[in-house]
Structure 1
Amino acid sequence: MIIPIFFIFSLLIHKSYANIPFDYCVGDMSLPSGPAGYACKHPAKLTVDDFVYSGLNIPGTVSKILKFNASNAFAAEFPALNGMGISATRVDIDVGGFFPAHAHRVSELFIIIKGTIIAGFIDTNNTPFYKTLKKGDIMIFPPSLLHFVVNVGSTPVTAYASFASENPGVQLIDTALFRNNLPSELVEKITLLDHKQVQKLKKVFGGTN
């Protein structure tokens, strides 16, 4: 019985590592990226510092509008993640602030370090799943689903998120609709907002037309 179990286990391990036929591929940021990521920096030029990133040590500057900041450690910021299928973000939210509805291409694991939030997502049946989370709580956001975070406490929030990709992408509903040159008349039709509301939001988020 042990031998078949060991055999199956070894196959699973082999399969999980078969997709990574290299030890690492630190991105060469002097070259352009493509759909498959960055070209690899020559191993002879690497040091341990290439595998360390300190950009998430301190809070980022929160926005005046939403009162939040996301500091990313994606492949573009941390080239050692290139090809590794993982990345991270630090989130800082002031009192009364929020991370608006948005989506990523991949799943996200969200952990609260400090503060109190309401976090949730909405599935494709339009069913909301949300809960108040405190220090040490973790929540998973499935890939491509809209999700959000709101600071409902009396102190600033610090949280970290990890992603199943070195470049998970992000699309916020607000910036997608109002930070571009999509004609206001079209935005009004697809959002049911009136002209004044659309113009106001375009001004807030930097859109035109």
Structure 2
Amino acid sequence: MFPILGFMLSTLSLHILTASASDPDPLQDFCIPNTEFSSTRTTRFNIVTCKNPKEVSPEDFVFSGIKSPGNFSDTGFSAISVNPVVFPGLNTLGMSLVRADLKAGGINAPHFHPRATEIAYVVQGKVYSGFVDSKNRVFAKIIEQGEVMVFPRGLVHFQMKVGKSPATILGSFNSQNPGTHKIPNIIFGSGVNDELLEKAFGLSLEQISVMRRKLIFPKKQSKF
């Protein structure tokens, strides 16, 4: 009795750990969202209505939106996210990707993805890339064309262009909706109480206001 119970508990624990590691497994080959429910699928991926498989075509599994860089921010960074909202063929497949481009001196500010591990592949250029673990250790180095780096799920990571030529990175996630939390936005752009920020970071109210204005009206950074 007890060995069987122990086996059942171990199996259940393993199933729970596996199930929480990534998106749920699909129940069919694919699920192209029905466009009639487009307003729903932007926020509730798990309950969309699938298009009739007989109406699905090869075009549903092809996306051409990352042939060129997107719009650059004032930090010299551009990102085009590819998820089921823009590429319905990814729906229920447990993955998504992003094309990221950095100009000379450009940065991808520290951020993390709460629901996914990321693998970043350098298509061109050189990038200082890394992450910080839960013991506050930094794992970072310069990676170049043809190399990849993995950022474990939920850990803060960052990138900075090295050299004068631009860089292009292709990031892949093991979730169709990884989520992105940028550290500066979380701290200074979310409405956290000023007094708390003042005590936590040793900043004056004026400095906090400056940081918030930079998030709303960012200024162009100087060239390296």
TM-score, normalised via structure 1 length: 0.84
CA separation in 2, counterparts of 1:80 and 1:190?
Answer: 44
1:58 — aligned with what? Answer: 68
- 3-state SS in 2 of match to 1:84: coil
1:22 — aligned with what? Answer: 28
Aligned 8 A contact 2:129 2:160 in 1: yes
Q: How does 1:1-209 map to 2 (within 5 A)?
A: 19-31=25-37, 32-33=40-41, 34=44, 36=46, 38-64=48-74, 66-104=75-113, 105-206=115-216
CA separation in 1, counterparts of 2:68 and 2:47?
Answer: 27
Stretches of structure 1 lacking an aligned partner (at least 5 in a row): 1-17
Following superposition, the deviation at residue 52 of structure 1 comes to 0.7
CA separation in 2, counterparts of 1:56 and 1:134?
Answer: 20
- 3-state SS in 1 of match to 2:123: strand
CA separation in 1, counterparts of 2:152 and 2:83?
Answer: 19
Aligned 8 A contact 1:108 1:143 in 2: yes
1:143-184, CA deviations, whole angstroms, 9 ceiling, x for partnerless residues? 000000011211111110000011111100011122233333
CA separation in 2, counterparts of 1:159 and 1:37?
Answer: 32
Identical counterparts, % of pairs: 32
CA separation in 1, counterparts of 2:186 and 2:56?
Answer: 38
Moved over 4 A (4+): none
Aligned 8 A contact 2:25 2:92 in 1: no
CA separation in 1, counterparts of 2:66 and 2:155?
Answer: 25
Aligned 8 A contact 1:98 1:151 in 2: yes
Stretches of structure 2 lacking an aligned partner (at least 5 in a row): 1-23, 218-224
Aligned residues: 189
Change (3 A) 1:115 1:45: same
Let me know the Cα RMSD of the aligned residues.
Answer: 1.9
The one-letter amino acid paired with 1:197 is Q
